[in-house]
Chains A and B, each alone.
Chain A
Amino acid sequence: QKEVEQDPGPLSVPEGAIVSLNCTYSNSAFQYFMWYRQYSRKGPELLMYTYSSGNKEDGRFTAQVDKSSKYISLFIRDSQPSDSATYLCATELGGATNKLIFGTGTLLAVQP
Chain B
Amino acid sequence: DVKVTQSSRYLVKRTGEKVFLECVQDMDHENMFWYRQDPGLGLRLIYFSYDVKMKEKGDIPEGYSVSREKKERFSLILESASTNQTSMYLCASSDTGGSEKLFFGSGTQLSVL
Contact = CB atoms under 8 A, between A and B. Distances in A.
Interface of A: 6, 8, 32, 34, 36, 41-46, 49, 88, 90, 92, 94, 98-100, 102-105
Given A43-B92, A98-B50, 17 more contacts: A8-B40, A34-B100, A43-B104, A44-B102, A45-B103, A46-B101, A90-B100, A92-B99, A94-B98, A98-B48, A99-B45, A99-B58, A102-B42, A102-B43, A104-B40, A104-B41, A105-B42
A36 B31 CA distance: 18
A92 B31 CA distance: 15
Contacts of B104: 43-45
Contacts of B50: 98
Nearest to A89: B42
A104 to B, nearest CB: 4
23 contacts: A32-B98, A32-B100, A34-B100, A41-B106, A43-B107, A44-B43, A44-B90, A44-B102, A46-B101, A46-B102, A46-B103, A88-B42, A98-B98, A98-B99, A99-B45, A100-B45, A100-B99, A100-B100, A102-B42, A102-B43, A103-B42, A104-B41, A105-B42
Among B100, B101, B104: residue with most chain A CB under 10 A: B100
A41 B92 CA distance: 15
B4 interface: yes
A68 to B, nearest CB: 22
Nearest to B90: A43
A36 to B, nearest CB: 8
A43 B106 contact: yes
Contacts of A88: 42-43
Contacts of A102: 42-43
A99 to B, nearest CB: 6
A103 B42 CA distance: 6
Interface string B7-34: 0000000000000000000000001000
